[in-house]
């Protein structure tokens, strides 16, 4: 069964590498009538051959931290290794999984330790991020002082992965059209039943193809993995740079192991206490505001495909989405472009102001019922190229996210009320973002995560970076996290886009100084450049 157009999960992607953005930008001229060739999507892992494993650890928590990785050269000065982790941290003598690491060794002689980096998600590959984008992720001064390590969290990429559908199955799940559900009213009982059936089919495939790991990929397990990696690196305290969802990992680490916190930067902060409903509401509002910011910018250009006031232009975008919802388009490859896929295409360039120009071409193409550019943008979001999925990020996102929130009974009337609230808060995109509870309601493993504030009591100072115009992790979340953490220090970037330390020179200087010396600003610098 094709996936009904339930809410797209906006928090899935954490960050897009500079190389990917640059390559994507260079190819936009080729997209007027055809799919983007050679789109530089993430591989979902380092792409290196599996390195040799260390000796199997003793089946104790301490034994896992005493592993000696077999580091192997894997190109461009990088080193790769796999290490063991327990499938279930409560049963360290039981079954094991493996985690993939990529290290950029410190280039200087006075090494400060290891800096672990997570690019977000959940479901993003840290090994790929460091392999392909270390210069974007970490400034030269930090590369000089630290071994920089990215790893694929459990369930992701080249670590023991979550596996669900093959490529054809993923195409059907994300882009398929089912005539039997085409005439169902979104939010009706019949529509919800169809959505639940589709999500249940997806979840069943994940269980069948992943096995017991499906119940052990939550962030609590990843936090314990990270502390194991710190021990393996030989560092008494953790130095860590986390983006987007990676800030949630870092915040939970600080709460679990405050005495082991070294220097932590949490950029594009999530609020650990936010419920799933909170996340959907805040992100929907954030992307609506980012779309308004784009629209205001677009209307100042002669080439803008929108006209009139900002409100009028937003109404034009809403009308395009309504038209696609009423009459889905078909791409040149036969895939269906419904309102959900079209919204994914719109959201993708909103992660970075440097990518806003793609929206000009997108709205021009949708105006003439050309689906191909929208499908290409959705492909970029889903790491799809030439009919193949180059990562398991969508599957990993679902598996991790559904474990990270407590299970709750599906309340259809509450879902309808929430959907109505989204439509009112975000008049352009909100009506297409309702009913996101369906995915986890049908998930085959009960959620066990607890959402609540953190304190990190006794931890060393922690930098929390927030961007005022961040659509994916709203600035108020950074304010909240910095307040929750007893040692939280807020650094604000007054600008647009998702995360700041790799785009703002001012923020980068604060981050570098902190990682190199431990010094934090006496007050929020309120960076503007």
Looking at the annotation, which residues are catalytic?
244, 470, 498
Q: What is the DSSP string of 256-304?
A: H-GGGEEEEEEES---TT--HHHHHHHHHHHHHHHHHHHHHHHTTSTT-
| Contacting residues for 449 by C-beta, under 8 A, at least 6 apart | 218, 219, 220, 403, 404, 405, 406
Q: Are 266 and 462 in contact (CB under 8 A)?
A: yes
Picking from 19, 160, 121, the residue whose alpha carbon sits closest to that of residue 394 is: 121
- CA separation for the pair 19, 49 (Å, rounded): 22
- CA separation for the pair 301, 361 (Å, rounded): 13
Pairing of strands 146-151, 462-469: unpaired
In the structure encoding, which two tokens stand for residue 155, read together? 């369930």
Question: Which DSSP helix (H) or strand (E) runs through 239?
Answer: strand 238-243
Residue 301 neighbours by CB distance under 10 Å: 11
In the structure encoding, which two tokens stand for residue 371, read together? 């689906």
For 26, the 3-state DSSP assignment is: helix
How deeply is 334 buried, as exposed, middle or buried, from its count of CB atoms within 10 A (0-12, 13-18, 19+)? exposed
- CA separation for the pair 328, 338 (Å, rounded): 5
- The DSSP output letter for 33 is S
CA 148 centroid distance within chain: 20
Q: What region does 308 belong to: left with phi over 0, alpha with psi -120 to 50, or beta?
A: left
In the structure encoding, which two tokens stand for residue 223, read together? 């936090």
């Amino acid at each position: 069964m094709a996936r009904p157009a339930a809410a797209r999960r906006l928090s899935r992607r954490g960050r897009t590498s500079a190389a990917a953005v640059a390559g994507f930008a260079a190819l936009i001229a080729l997209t007027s009538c055809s799919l983007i060739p050679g789109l530089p999507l993430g591989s979902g892992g380092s792409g290196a051959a599996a390195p040799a494993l260390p000796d199997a650890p003793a089946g104790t928590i301490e034994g896992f931290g005493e592993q000696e990785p077999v580091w192997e050269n894997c190109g461009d000065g990088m080193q790769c290794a796999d290490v063991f982790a327990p499938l279930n941290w409560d049963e360290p003598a039981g079954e094991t999984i493996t985690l993939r690491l990529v290290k950029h060794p410190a280039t200087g002689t006075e090494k400060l330790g290891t800096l672990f980096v997570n690019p977000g998600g959940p479901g993003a590959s840290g090994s790929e991020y460091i392999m392909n984008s270390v210069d974007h992720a970490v400034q030269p001064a930090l590369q000089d002082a630290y071994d920089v390590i990215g790893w694929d969290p459990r369930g992701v990429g080249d670590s023991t992965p979550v596996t669900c559908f093959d490529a054809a199955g993923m195409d059907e799940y994300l882009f398929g059209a089912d005539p039997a559900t085409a005439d169902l009213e979104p939010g009706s009982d019949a529509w919800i039943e169809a959505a639940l059936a589709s999500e249940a089919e997806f979840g069943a495939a994940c269980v069948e193809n992943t096995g017991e790991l499906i119940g052990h990929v939550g962030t609590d397990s990843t936090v314990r993995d990270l502390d194991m990696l710190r021990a393996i690196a030989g560092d008494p305290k953790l130095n860590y740079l986390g983006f987007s969802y990676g800030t949630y990992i870092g915040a939970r680490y600080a709460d679990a192991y405050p005495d082991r916190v070294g220097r932590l930067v949490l950029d594009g902060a999530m609020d650990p206490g936010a419920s799933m409903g909170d996340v959907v509401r805040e992100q929907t509002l954030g992307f609506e505001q980012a779309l308004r910011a784009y629209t205001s910018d677009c209307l100042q250009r002669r080439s803008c495909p929108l006209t009139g006031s900002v409100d009028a232009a937003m109404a034009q975008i809403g009308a395009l989405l309504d038209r696609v919802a009423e009459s889905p388009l078909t791409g040149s490859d036969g895939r269906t472009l419904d309102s959900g896929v079209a919204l994914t295409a719109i959201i993708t360039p909103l992660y970075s102001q440097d990518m806003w120009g793609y929206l000009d071409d997108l709205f021009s193409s949708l105006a003439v019922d050309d689906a191909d550019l929208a499908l290409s943008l959705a492909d970029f979001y889903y790491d799809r190229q030439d009919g193949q999925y180059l990562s398991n990020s969508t599957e990993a996102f679902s598996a991790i996210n559904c474990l990270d929130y407590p299970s709750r009974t599906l309340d259809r009337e509450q879902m309808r009320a929430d959907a109505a609230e989204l439509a009112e808060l975000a008049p352009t995109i909100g009506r297409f973002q309702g009913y996101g509870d369906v995915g986890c309601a049908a998930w085959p493993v009960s959620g066990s995560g607890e959402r609540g504030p953190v304190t990190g009591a006794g931890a060393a100072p922690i930098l929390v970076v927030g961007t005022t115009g961040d659509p994916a992790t709203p600035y108020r979340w950074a304010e909240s996290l910095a307040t929750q953490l007893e040692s939280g220090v807020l650094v604000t970037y007054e600008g647009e886009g998702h995360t700041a330390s790799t785009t703002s020179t001012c923020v980068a200087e604060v981050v570098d100084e902190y990682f190199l010396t431990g010094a934090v600003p006496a007050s929020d610098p309120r960076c503007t450049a």
